[in-house]
Amino acid sequence: MSGAVDLSALKARSDAANRPAPAGPPPGGAPSGGAPPSGFVVDVSEATFQADVLERSMEVPVVVDLWAEWCGPCKQLSPVLERLAAAGNGSWILAKVDVDANPRIAQAFGAQSIPMVVAVVGGQPVDAFNGAQPEPQVRQWIASLLDALRERMPAIAAAEAAAGGAPEPEEEPEDPRFTAAEDALEQGDYAAAEAAYQDILNVEPANEQAVAALAQVRFLARAEAVDPDAVTKADAAPDDVDAQLAAADAEIAGDGVEAAFARLVATAGRVFGDDRDRVREHLVGLFELFPADDARVTAARRALARVLF
């Protein structure tokens, strides 16, 4: 959002509102470097916007919560933000803005609906979201914000250290579908593992983890049954497609990746029709055993394209 929202007008109004005030922290604010009276949550008005939002955002991120008493979703989100701010121990500050009492602040942020949450850093809005989000999602949003700014804003790390260090990232719950597939694989039941991964792909065809795991399972099942003399037999029968496929598996299992790829590319150049399709599909399946940016895979893909097209 940086650059898309101009907060200078709010700063000017805040300055004007505070000129007649006696020396000391503005109402609702706190001295530089100190915690606001209510801990790490502060109610903000136009008069205190500069001190409580702009100036404090030079030290730590300030998360602005635009809310109203009549807003039902606000009443769900605000307590979540307040709990997380307290747990943050000053690594970030929650600035609550009642949009009915402070409509110009809402206008400055371009709020079309509430609740609206805006992260302000260095006097500029940098990220935002609308609507009442689930607590895990809000926690992740704040964690990502702090991770991106920790090196640039030492006060974040200082606050976390005072609280016993940065919170450990929560482990994602295990997907029971993958757990079942992995259990089958550990037991050597390749058929059950393959079926489990295929079930995942039937529902989520673009699940990269399942695609890679399925390729691994299929290869392991073939490699376990490969003939120790597969390479010798294939070299003696270059036009035997089955022999070439088996030899390529044996070479992959023996870490002869480039040799396996070269074998199948050469075979694809010698055969036609269904046999060529079988070789191509087998080779593409072997590609999936490796990262897409593996140099050996890249080179073999180019060689296969030259043969096929």
Q: Please work out, in degrees rounded to the nearest 5, the angle formed at the alpha carbon of residue 268 by the alpha carbons of 264 and 272.
A: 150
Residue 149 and residue 278: Cα distance in Å, rounded?
A: 52
Active site residues: 71, 74
What DSSP element (H or E) covers 48?
Answer: none
Distance between CA atoms of 259 and 261, rounded to whole angstroms?
A: 5
Quickly count helices (H) and strands (E) in the chain.
14, 5
Q: Which two tokens stand for residue 26?
A: 């503005």
Q: Is the peptide bond before 115 cis (omega within 30 degrees of 0)?
A: yes
- State both tokens at 172: 């994602």
- Compute the distance between CA of residue 6 and CA of residue 133 in angstroms, rounded to an integer: 26
